[in-house]
Chains A and B, each alone.
Chain A
Amino acid sequence: DAKTTQPPSMDCAEGRAANLPCNHSTISGNEYVYWYRQIHSQGPQYIIHGLKNNETNEMASLIITEDRKSSTLILPHATLRDTAVYYCPTGANSKLTFGKGITLSVRP
């Protein structure tokens, strides 16, 4: 499974878009990119995933570069409740490898 790296933290203003980066330069062709978030000590919550194409759902958008070595999670209108640690594990055959994640702080 690919190792993922992210900046340790970032912040954004409430109501603005939050763009969270992830590097997965060693990803293999059959590995998906997933995004999860963890609020306080709750269990990680699924956000979105993709293989090659960009994806969008009611929570967020996922942009994957053409070479698949990096991706960006976009929260279009961040709220205070989006403050959390965001992870971008990759995986194939069910197994996910989580990195250290990026702490997003949304400020009023």
Chain B
Amino acid sequence: DAGVIQSPRHEVTEMGQEVTLRCKPISGHDYLFWYRQTMMRGLELLIYFNNNVPIDDSGMPEDRFSAKMPNASFSTLKIQPSEPRDSAVYFCASSRTGMGETQYFGPGTRLLVL
């Protein structure tokens, strides 16, 4: 298996632009997670899905952030409009089931908003 795939790996954009991050989870995994990592706040869970349905989005910072999972093999995290404080590494992870299962992380998307 190729593992969790994220694209793009690096993104540089200007403030106010829309940014879309993409994730392909491991085949057969029912759960998908989006995390954000910064030096100041560490690794934070933004939102997670079970069987394509958002379960907990309490970590989404504000309305500028939205996430979708149209099918079992694809998810997007969108920021519109982007701001410099959104600069971070965004990780996607997936797991087979919930409790007691391992989350497998992707390589991350490094986002820089100028």
Contacts and interface: CB of A to CB of B under 8 A. Distances in A.
Interface in B23-73: 31, 33, 42-45, 48, 50, 55-56
Nearest to B31: A94
Contacts of B99: 30, 32, 91-94
Contact of A42 (B56, B101, B102, B108): B108
Contacts of B110: 41
A32 B98 contact: no
B45 A95 contact: yes
Nearest to B100: A32
A45 interface: yes
A35 B107 CA distance: 18
B42 A100 contact: yes
Given A44-B91, A87-B43, A94 B102 contact: no
A95 B46 CA distance: 10
B74 interface: no
B107 A94 contact: no
B82 interface: no
Given A43-B108, A44-B43, A87-B43, A96 B89 contact: no
Given A87-B43, A94-B50, A100-B42, A46 B102 contact: yes
Contacts of A45: 105
Interface string B4-37: 1000000000000000000000000001010000
B48 to A, nearest CB: 6
Contacts of A46: 102-104
B65 to A, nearest CB: 18
Contacts of A30: 99
14 contacts: A41-B108, A41-B110, A43-B91, A43-B93, A45-B105, A46-B103, A49-B100, A93-B99, A94-B99, A94-B101, A95-B48, A95-B56, A96-B45, A97-B45
Interface of B: 4, 31, 33, 42-45, 48, 50, 55-56, 89, 91, 93, 95, 98-108, 110
